[in-house]
Structure 1
């Protein structure tokens, strides 16, 4: 079974605790990963080379790897360097996600995708727009994701629901579509599949205790007033 077939109709859990938070420790990330797989996750999204290596040793499901960087000269944060992609693959990533927007980056999108392909892995484009997805497919990206919709200057929104319309638009391009971004309830994940997604990635609602606690705390305190 190919990697994409194993993910089709399934769930990817993003095991990314808040940077610098109390859960931001490799052993805890490994525990999150194992628990997610025990709960039915078909794949995992992991940030960081060291975390990738540790999770790869603990699970057998497909792993999507990213490296996040805060750089002074570009808003691109997700796997901005070819070297990041290659190190993730060496550590065990089956898929490497990169920023597929047209924002300026140190290494070009084409160079990053080419390096991923030549190293024997699949590329996932974290997109914000339909234009991004088309460009990603043109350079050989295997998975197009709605990850960055609502998180770029062009698409910034106060909407709390996911971008289902973008999911549907992506499906018309053909290829493998990953719904990602603000899928914080099971019903929303279900609706993503109904909108045409091949797979859904969920992060904060599963692995970020700070966010989940705040959602409940805010609701309770509003009611108490």
Structure 2
């Protein structure tokens, strides 16, 4: 499949993020593969997955495009979504069609430069690159550097981006107006109505994770809402 055909498979559709970190009840590549199968049967257009082992397990079970990443902690940087070139290579070799990278303007581990990583990936691999950004400025810079897709994944998760309760619709709208490449909406999209609104704001596709594949977070939202309702009723 060529690059344009791959991107067009996502147009106006839902991508499901199947991730569970160490310490979470559903952590494990076998569980994530089953999550991906369920998402595929439900009509997802693609899967977003974390770590080479999870990507490889999902690739064996699901015939959908995979957006791969690797969350890695380095002591000298806050960047943790596929931070280094070697991390990108591992994700590609595991079977990802698209590699998602933190494309914020923060310093990367070991002094690596984002523009150098992008250049090396483009020279050595045919995968697409997705820029996970938190601000309009970062999205514009990611386009300049040659990313194929921009995603609003990190809006609200850097200390300089707006901390809002729901999805960052304004960022999606502005980016979709200012860059000619696809903008994916991701982050705090909790309902089908919000997903639809993001597409209406100009998003090329929508990525949803916690509202579908993280039952602990879903349970917490229900519990918090119930508690808040009880508190309000007692006042």
TM range (shorter): over 0.9
Match for 2:182 among 176, 185, 194?
A: 176
- Higher share of residues assigned helix: 2
Runs of 4 or more off by more than 4 Å in structure 1? none
Q: How does 1:1-225 map to 2 (within 5 A)?
A: 2-106=5-109, 107-117=112-122, 118-157=124-163, 159-172=164-177, 173-225=179-231
Distance 1:15 1:53 in 2: 13
RMSD of Structure 2 on Structure 1 (CA): 1.2
* Aligned length, in residue pairs: 224
8 A contact 1:149–1:163 mirrored in 2: yes
Distance 1:31 1:4 in 2: 24
TM-score, normalised via structure 2 length: 0.92
Distance 2:78 2:18 in 1: 23
What stretches of structure 1 of length at least 5 have no aligned partner? none
What stretches of structure 2 of length at least 5 have no aligned partner? none
Residue-by-residue CA offset, 1:53-106 (whole Å, 9 max, x unaligned): 110111111100111012211110100111111111111100000011110002
Distance 1:74 1:91 in 2: 25
Distance 1:20 1:112 in 2: 31
State which structure, 1 or 2, has the greater radius of gyration over its C-alpha atoms.
2
